[in-house]
Amino acid sequence: MATEEFTDAIALLKADHREVEDLFAQFEKAKDDNRKWEIAQKVCNELKIHSMIEEEIFYPATKDAVEEDLYKEAFVEHDGAKVLINDIMESGGQGEFFEAKVKVLSEEIEHHVEEEEKRGEGYFAQVRDSDIDLVALRDQMLARKQELQAQAESGGLPAAELTAVDADAS
């Protein structure tokens, strides 16, 4: 994956969003259970990697550029999705609620993506108004993404760790 493929950090994150939306659409259309399970695992891996590069790199680097509420809600929304992601991965694609879980996950992600991409007032729009170096951020995120993809392909990624919800509970 060449760096030049994405103009900056936001372009990279938006491309991830489109990829995940495409996978959810494929899941809806898939007829057999094996195919559905295959797609569900892909979606979960993509979302794990995406939320990690955002939480480890993008969100901390942009914290001061966005409204505090929006910043905090992003972590809580990620955690909500991670609960379903971990549950789906553990299910092996089995169980009467499997498809419902993937559907609700897609709805949660749709809402979260809207919060990030909303014109004028979304997370990305607020970051665009700042003077943060989004090209340097892209390089950092891309490197981490490639590292996580390699990990996913070799041994598989561990379960997603809750960031905000867990911290409050303990």
Near Fe ion by CB under 5 A, which window of 21-29, 86-94, 97-105, 114-122? 114-122
Do the Cβ atoms of 93 and 33 come closer than 8 Å?
yes
- Least distance to Fe ion from the beta carbon of 103, Å? 19
Please state, in angstroms and as integers, the Cα–Cα distance from residue 104 to each residue in 84, 99, 108, 110, 116, following that order. 9, 9, 6, 10, 19
Residues in contact with Fe ion, total (CB under 5 A)? 3
Which one, 37 or 134, has the nearer CB to Fe ion? Answer: 134
- Least distance to Fe ion from the beta carbon of 17, Å? 6
Q: Which residue is nearest to Fe ion (CB)?
A: 54
- Least distance to Fe ion from the beta carbon of 106, Å? 14
Rg (CA), the chain: 16
- Distance, in Å, from the CA atom of 114 to the CA atom of 118, rounded to the nearest integer, reads 5
Which one, 33 or 166, has the nearer CB to Fe ion? Answer: 166
Near Fe ion by CB under 5 A, which window of 36-44, 88-96, 112-120, 136-144? 112-120
Binding of Fe ion by 79 (CB under 5 A): no
- Least distance to Fe ion from the beta carbon of 112, Å? 6
Q: Nearest Cα to 124, choosing from 5, 4, 2, 8?
A: 8
Question: Dmax over Cα atoms in the chain, in whole Å?
Answer: 49
H or E, element range at 15 = helix 9-29
- Distance, in Å, from the CA atom of 28 to the CA atom of 99, rounded to the nearest integer, reads 9
Binding residue (CB under 5 A) for Fe ion from 8, 37, 54, 80: 54
The residues of the shown chain that bind Fe ion, judged by CB under 5 A, are 13, 54, 116
